Structure 1
Amino acid sequence: MRLSVLDDTYYRDLLCEFGAMFAIANRIDTVHKLPWIGFQSWRAAGRKVSLSESAEETLEKTMAGENHEDVIYYWVPMDTDQTSNFWSTCDCLNAGHCRTLFEDAFRNMYGLPEGVAALPPMPNDGDYWSTLHSWVMPTPSFLKFIMFTRMFVDSLHSLNGNNTEPASCLLGASQPEKRHCYCRILEILVNIWAYHSGRKMVYLNPVTGESKEQHLREERNEMWVKFFDFTLLKSMDEDLAEEADDGMHPGTDQWLWPLTGQVFWPGIADREREEKYIKKLDKKLKSKVKLLERQKSGYKQKPLGQ
């Protein structure tokens, strides 16, 4: 199940928990066949916001009664007093460069020209945002989230010229923060994806299990739906897969995207079918040639029983 990129300490530190998520998504059919998937950071216990047994039972009952709609349940709030600006908080967590680098990565990912807004608006509406990778969502939604995240991380990494020196990290101030460069920005990425892709967002009190919908969908007035549309993201994913398959991407040796999961586009399946067909024809041709050689040499197999 483990991705080979995680054998490299640099990338393992760079991605933190997301390395494991990429690995799980890459083998989801064999390692996780349940309709829901969730995670809880070990740091949640340190902050005393890990799920209580009561909250776990409530969540399980809620999921059992759900129709698997696009919803995310989370219980570790990014801001406990619900007053901080989303991007300002992200800046505080990332040495003051969160929104700048996010905007650059987003622009690079979608090929947006300069002058076009590339920082998704996140409202300061008094509701909770999620952090610490402590959430539950339907498994199909998880795979869509991972598809988006792989492309975003790759775009973010390319801004640094795919540099593998922690000292070059702009998202950290201390050495530990630089070593775990992308970890803090990735912790809040699920909010941006869930909000702008129209997912229902529900905060779950980790002690009581009481839940309340956040950022009501009917009140989201500035959703960037077009950038988070699955059809668009799927086509972008396939374009990257084609580049990887054909070796067309510059700097392929240090290209992060192919290392974080499955590389697939329809052309791969077409080529595999063609190769299988060619092998089949080749086998038939060899059998025919062998038969002709036997006939020329006068060999003739006797009927069975004689």
Structure 2
Amino acid sequence: MRGLSLKHAFRNALASLAATFILVMSAMYILTRDSVEIEHRPLLRTKPLTNIGQPRPSSLTLVIYQQYHSTACYHNLYNNSLYRGLNQAAGQRRPNSDDLDAPTMFPLATDPYYQNLLCEFSGMLAVAAHAARLHPQEWIGFQSWRAVDKRRAISQAAEDSILSAIGKRSHGDAIYFWSDGGEDDVRVLDFYEHCDRSHKHCKIAFQRAFGVLFGHRTGETDAPDAPPMPNDGGAWVFMSYFVMRTESFLEYMRFVRDFFIAVDDMWFHTHRDANVCILAQGVSSSPEYESLHCYCYLLERLISIWAYHSGRRMLFVNPITGSISEQHELKERTAWLHYFSKSQFRKHLEKLERRAVAMNDRGLIQKLQTF
């Protein structure tokens, strides 16, 4: 019996030793795996947050986020299941509502310098960063609180028209928009002419930014021109008055993020330290305001460049009648599709990250980590 007892004890000791060995090896594997992941972790991540709100019911096909930044905007916000408020300024969220609060969702939205440069895009980037948790709907839209005052808010007829079109999948991967940038019922047809008329160096700014984004240094002879935007009689998308597939929106936000990083990489020190904004040069009214919000004008127009060259169907929705008309035929839009492919942008962004690490530019690295 004693021999059996010793044998049993020895067997238990071996089992315990084996279990300990497995635990140690597992821990070593986890540490090694985590160190590798930390070393190669993409820099463009937001920290997970636990108290950012709940999603609307997944039975809804579409939610349109209404962007606002103060209590003075409340009276312009709609209160029905199609719309959800999106506050963009600390402490201004509507009480007793399910509005999302960008400053608590997106750290860069609490940085005054970058909040002014991003304008309403901080809210869109915040939604994109947490879309997997907060937005189960297949379609997503945005409309600024200014829409009512500027008579650009969509009517119920326009809402019904959009819901019918996306419900029937009438246009596939499309973007529906209801702000064409025009004043007094005159559409903007010549994209860059209007761009330069409002801000003298607008096209040059786009050209240089895309040169950086596509891996060229400013001044290189093979740097591409600004993406062509033909005057073909079609309307262009402006600002945040649109509806698109959620998957497409996330791609668009990655594009916005990459573009912003390229612009900031190029002009950060000139703007922050010398207070010089290329788009504020030659502006007849409020150059200080334009300088404070230096990149907003580019970002507001970027959606047209992305939608056109990524091959999305572009549908203008009359905000009053709800009639839908297609703009810019797809067959004419092939020249720049390669530049705007997902794989191409991912490649360019990785180059930006590697360059930031190599240069040890703490400012750029921090921005990349924050996005």
TM range (shorter): 0.7 to 0.9
* Identity score, percent: 35
Matched-pair contact (CA < 8 Å) for 2:115–2:122: yes
Residue correspondence of structure 1 range 68-217 to structure 2 within 5 A: 69-79=172-182, 80-82=185-187, 84-94=189-199, 96-112=200-216, 113-162=220-269, 163-165=271-273, 167-172=275-280, 173=283, 174-217=287-330
CA distances 1:43-86 after superposition (whole Å, capped 9, x unpaired): 22222121011111111121111178321000011234236421
Partners of 2:289 and 2:229 in 1: CA distance: 28
CA distance in 2, matches of 1:108, 1:229: 17
Q: State which of 329, 332, 340 in structure 2 corresponds to 1:219.
A: 332
Structure 1 residue 237: Cα displacement = 3.4
In the alignment, structure 1 residue 28 sits paired with structure 2 residue 141: no
> Would the alpha carbon gap of residues 100 and 54 (structure 1) be closer, same or farther in structure 2, given more than 3 Å must change?
same
Which region of structure 1 is more displaced relative to structure 2, 144-153 or 156-165? Answer: 156-165
Structure 1 position 253 matched with structure 2 position 366 = no
Mark the CA change 1:115 to 1:238 in structure 2 (over 3 Å): closer, same or farther.
closer
Which stretch shifts more, 192-201 or 81-90?
81-90
Contact 2:239 2:303 in 1 (8 A): no
CA distances 1:242-275 after superposition (whole Å, capped 9, x unpaired): 667xx435312244751553xxxxxxxxxxxxxx
Partner SS for 1:225: coil
| Alpha-carbon distance change, 68 to 86 in structure 1, aligned in 2, over 3 angstroms | closer
Which residue of structure 2 aligns with residue 237 of structure 1? Answer: 349
| Equivalent AA in structure 1 for residue 186 of structure 2 | D
Alignment CA distance shift 1:116-1:238 (3 Å) = closer
Runs of 5+ unmatched residues, structure 1: 262-306
- Count of aligned pairs: 257
- The answer as to whether partners of 1:83 and 1:124 remain within 8 angstroms in 2 is no
Q: Taking CA–CA contacts closer than 8 Å with sequence separation of 6 or more, which of the two structures ends up with the larger relative contact order? A: 1
Deviations 1:185-215 (A, max 9, x none): 1111011011011110000000010001100
Asked if the contact 1:157/1:256 (under 8 Å) is kept, the reply is: no
TM-score of the superposition, structure 2-length normalised?
Answer: 0.64
Q: Verify the 8 A CA contact 1:75 1:205 in the aligned structure 2.
A: yes
- Pairing 1:58–2:165 present: no
